[in-house]
């Protein structure tokens, strides 16, 4: 899960990926050709992108010499970590000597305005989750593409470093000062045409003791008309937190709706997005059928079969969401 940045960029922007640099013993691969720094530079790569998103957002100390080597070889360095690249003097010196740039994607350098709760024009969908790192970004990206394919005006709004790297714009919402979370989320999704959908990438989980705060601020500032709940059925408890069981889906839906009603009383949950990678084909079909019967909502996996059932729910119910 810590390699989700590399995996996300490789999946959604394959034409931009020249190759990957793996340290000895690395067990995860994007499937891109293995390359050294020198090989990547010779192949025409323009930047080295740090492909991990570990808890705390810190750069592993033993990675620094490789980043210095890459900068000296003429590659920009792109980071989505909380640790600023400019905090490493040797990296700053190497970048200056080679005339390359250091890009910190995860920053809070946005106007410090508080949320207003003002109703904005246009439509908004926010992906939310029973836990962290289980498909909120993938679901939002897939929904935006699916809506566009149907001729529905839609924009993916990135709220995390990987989404920003994929789309080229957005805000790393977890780097924003807490008082301004909702205000920055409002800026991310401003007034738009009545039929336009902003599909907003969710962050964290209301049920996570560390990240519920960023989830709530994003929920209030996004002012969503529609929610899609993302879930991984293999998790009996929150990742790395055995003392916190994964919530029941019906309970999670109600808690998200209750919180969202503060800024949009008309909010609806329109479906469930499932990371079904732990289930074989038959088990996935049975699980999907059971959830749809229990919750009365469409269920989809954006990787395994796509999100057309969720897109249909959005477009079918657009009158009710206006």
Reported as a single tens digit per residue, the pLDDT across 4-39 is 999 999 999 999 999 999 999 898 999 999 999 999
- What local confidence, expressed as pLDDT, does residue 65 receive? 97
CATH number, domain of 150, equals 3.40.50.300
CATH number, domain of 86, equals 3.40.50.720
Residue 71 lies in a domain: yes
The reply to whether 207 and 314 lie within a common domain is yes
User: Among 9, 52, 50, 59, which residue's Cα sits nearest to residue 31?
Assistant: 9
First-residue to last-residue Cα distance in the chain: 37
- What local confidence, expressed as pLDDT, does residue 318 receive? 53
Residues in CB range of 190: below 8 A, 6 or more apart: 120
Indicate the residue among 104, 139, 155 that finishes a domain: 104
Residue 115 lies in a domain: no
Tally Cβ neighbours within 10 Å of residue 89: 8
Question: Is residue 55's pLDDT more than 90?
Answer: no
Q: Cβ distance 35 to 78 under 8 Å? A: no
What's the mean pLDDT in 61-82?
96
With pLDDT > 70 as the criterion, what percentage of the chain qualifies? 98
The reply to whether 174 and 310 lie within a common domain is yes
- pLDDT confidence of 44, banded at 50, 70, 90? very high
What's the mean pLDDT in 156-181?
95
Residue 202 lies in a domain: yes
- What local confidence, expressed as pLDDT, does residue 56 receive? 83
The reply to whether 127 and 186 lie within a common domain is yes
- pLDDT confidence of 57, banded at 50, 70, 90? confident
Question: Is residue 192's pLDDT more than 70?
Answer: yes
The reply to whether 152 and 261 lie within a common domain is yes
- What local confidence, expressed as pLDDT, does residue 322 receive? 42
The reply to whether 142 and 288 lie within a common domain is yes
The reply to whether 214 and 306 lie within a common domain is yes
Provide the CA 297 distance to its chain's centre, in angstroms: 23
Question: Is residue 204's pLDDT more than 70?
Answer: yes
User: Among 136, 133, 129, 131, which residue's Cα sits nearest to residue 245?
Assistant: 131
Residue 113 lies in a domain: no
Residue 109 lies in a domain: no
Give the residues across from 20 on adjacent strands: 34
How open is the CA angle 148-10-138, to the nearest 5 degrees?
45
Indicate the residue among 69, 104, 139 that finishes a domain: 104
Show the DSSP H helices in 155-262 as ranges: 161-167, 181-188, 212-222, 249-260
Query: How many domains does the structure of the chain reveal?
Result: 2
The reply to whether 87 and 130 lie within a common domain is no
Distance (Å, whole) CA 36 – CA 3: 18
Distance (Å, whole) CA 220 – CA 122: 16
What's the mean pLDDT in 280-300?
98
* Residue 73, token pair as written in the block: 């070889």
- What local confidence, expressed as pLDDT, does residue 91 receive? 98
On the CB side of 165, CA atoms within 13 Å amount to 32
The reply to whether 71 and 201 lie within a common domain is no
Residue 116 lies in a domain: no
Question: Phi-psi bin for 232: left (phi > 0), alpha (psi -120 to 50), beta?
Answer: beta
The reply to whether 162 and 311 lie within a common domain is yes
Distance (Å, whole) CA 34 – CA 31: 8
Indicate the residue among 54, 72, 104 that finishes a domain: 104
Using CA atoms in the order 174, 213, 208, 5, what is the torsion angle rounded to 10 degrees?
-10
On the CB side of 272, CA atoms within 13 Å amount to 25
The reply to whether 151 and 58 lie within a common domain is no
The reply to whether 137 and 94 lie within a common domain is no
Distance (Å, whole) CA 320 – CA 14: 37
- pLDDT confidence of 319, banded at 50, 70, 90? very low
Residue 264 lies in a domain: yes
Taking all residues of the chain, what is their mean pLDDT, rounded to a whole number? 95
What's the mean pLDDT in 286-312?
97
Residue 111 lies in a domain: no
**Domain housing 41:** 4-104
3-state helix, strand, coil in the chain (%, to 5): 40, 15, 45
- Least confident residue range of 197-201, 227-231, 252-256, 313-317: 313-317
- What local confidence, expressed as pLDDT, does residue 197 receive? 98
pTM above 0.85, yes or no: yes
What's the mean pLDDT in 194-211?
97
The reply to whether 177 and 281 lie within a common domain is yes
Question: Is residue 317's pLDDT more than 90?
Answer: no
Q: Where are the beta strands (DSSP E) in 130-267?
A: 154-157, 197-200, 226-231, 237-238, 241-245
Question: Is residue 134's pLDDT more than 50?
Answer: yes
Using CA atoms in the order 180, 181, 183, 185, what is the torsion angle rounded to 10 degrees?
150
Question: Is residue 320's pLDDT more than 50?
Answer: no
What's the mean pLDDT in 235-245?
95
Q: Cβ distance 4 to 49 under 8 Å? A: no
């Amino acid at each position: 899960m810590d390699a989700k940045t590399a995996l996300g960029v490789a999946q959604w922007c394959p034409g931009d990926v020249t190759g990957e640099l793996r340290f000895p013993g690395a067990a995860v691969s994007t499937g891109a050709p293995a390359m050294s720094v020198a090989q990547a530079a010779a192949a025409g790569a323009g930047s080295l992108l740090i492909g991990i998103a570990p808890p705390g957002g810190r750069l592993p100390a033993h990675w620094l010499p490789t980043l210095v080597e890459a900068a000296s070889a003429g590659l920009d360095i792109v980071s989505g970590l909380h640790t600023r690249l400019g905090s490493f003097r040797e990296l700053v010196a190497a970048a200056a000597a080679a005339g390359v740039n250091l890009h910190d994607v995860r920053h809070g350098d946005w106007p410090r305005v508080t949320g207003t709760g003002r109703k904005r024009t246009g439509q908004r969908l926010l992906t939310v989750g029973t836990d962290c790192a289980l498909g909120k970004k993938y679901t939002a990206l897939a929904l935006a593409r699916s809506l566009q394919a149907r001729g529905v005006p839609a924009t993916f709004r990135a709220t995390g470093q990987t989404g920003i790297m994929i789309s080229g714009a957005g805000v790393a919402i977890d780097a924003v000062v807490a008082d301004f979370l909702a205000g920055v989320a409002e800026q991310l999704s401003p007034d738009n045409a009545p039929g336009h959908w902003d599909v907003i990438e969710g962050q964290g989980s209301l049920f996570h003791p560390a990240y519920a705060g960023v989830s709530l601020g994003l929920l209030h500032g996004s002012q969503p008309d529609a929610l899609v709940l993302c879930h991984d059925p293999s998790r009996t408890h929150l990742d790395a937190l055995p003392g916190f069981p994964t919530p029941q889906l019906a309970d999670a839906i109600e808690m998200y709706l209750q919180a969202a009603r503060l800024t949009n009383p008309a909010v609806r949950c329109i479906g469930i997005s499932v990371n079904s990678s732990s289930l074989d084909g038959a088990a996935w079909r049975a699980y999907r059928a059971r959830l749809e019967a229990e919750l009365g909502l469409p269920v989809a996996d954006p990787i395994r079969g796509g999100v057309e059932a969720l897109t249909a729910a959005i477009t079918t119910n657009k009158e009710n969401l206006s």
